[in-house]
């Protein structure tokens, strides 16, 4: 079946460091890919998405590129801030069903 695998956390970085959170997927067909962010005590919020191969999603300085050849959708940010501390989830949608990774907690220290 379809699935999403993302790197385990927590990831701890200093402010202004470069961020990469790895995400790979298994799916038949042509899924859409998403990154969601969850702040403490809240529901998930959509961060960015890509709907076809080679699409790049971007938002608030975060980027991810849909790589069909490597079945990956890695999240990157050039310079993280303390306010980026949260849990990040990679997800896919395929045939109207959604699959989420286990989440990666990011801690950014001043």
Partner 1 sequence: EAQVTQNPRYLITVTGKKLTVTCSQNMNHEYMSWYRQDPGLGLRQIYYSMNVEVTDKGDVPEGYKVSRKEKRNFPLILESPSPNQTSLYFCASSLRGEQYFGPGTRLTVT
Binding residues for partner 1 (CB under 8 A)? 1, 4, 32, 34, 36, 42-46, 49, 51, 89, 91, 93, 96-103
Q: How many residues does the chain have?
A: 110
Closest approach of partner 1 to the CB of residue 96, in Å = 6
Q: For residues 66 and 89, which CB has a smaller minimum distance to partner 1 in the complex?
A: 89
Integer-rounded Cα radius of gyration of the chain: 13
Closest approach of partner 1 to the CB of residue 26, in Å = 14
Closest approach of partner 1 to the CB of residue 24, in Å = 14
Closest approach of partner 1 to the CB of residue 101, in Å = 5
Q: For residues 96 and 110, which CB has a smaller minimum distance to partner 1 in the complex?
A: 96
Rounded distance between C-alpha atoms, residue 92 and residue 97, angstroms: 8
Contact between residue 45 and residue 72 where contact means Cβ atoms under 8 Å apart? no
Tokens at residue 66, please? 């849909």
Contact between residue 106 and residue 13 where contact means Cβ atoms under 8 Å apart? yes
Q: For residues 28 and 110, which CB has a smaller minimum distance to partner 1 in the complex?
A: 28
Contact between residue 7 and residue 102 where contact means Cβ atoms under 8 Å apart? no
């Amino acid at each position: 079946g379809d699935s999403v695998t993302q790197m385990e956390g927590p990831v701890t970085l200093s402010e202004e460091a470069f961020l990469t959170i790895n995400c790979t997927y298994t799916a038949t067909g042509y899924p859409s890919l998403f990154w969601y962010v969850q702040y403490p005590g809240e529901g998930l919020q959509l961060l960015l998405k890509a709907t076809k191969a080679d699409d790049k999603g971007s938002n608030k300085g975060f980027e991810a590129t849909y790589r069909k050849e490597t079945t990956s959708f890695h999240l990157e940010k050039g310079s993280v801030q303390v306010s980026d501390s949260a849990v990040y989830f990679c997800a896919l949608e395929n045939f109207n069903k959604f699959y989420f990774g286990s989440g990666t907690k990011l801690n950014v220290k001043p």
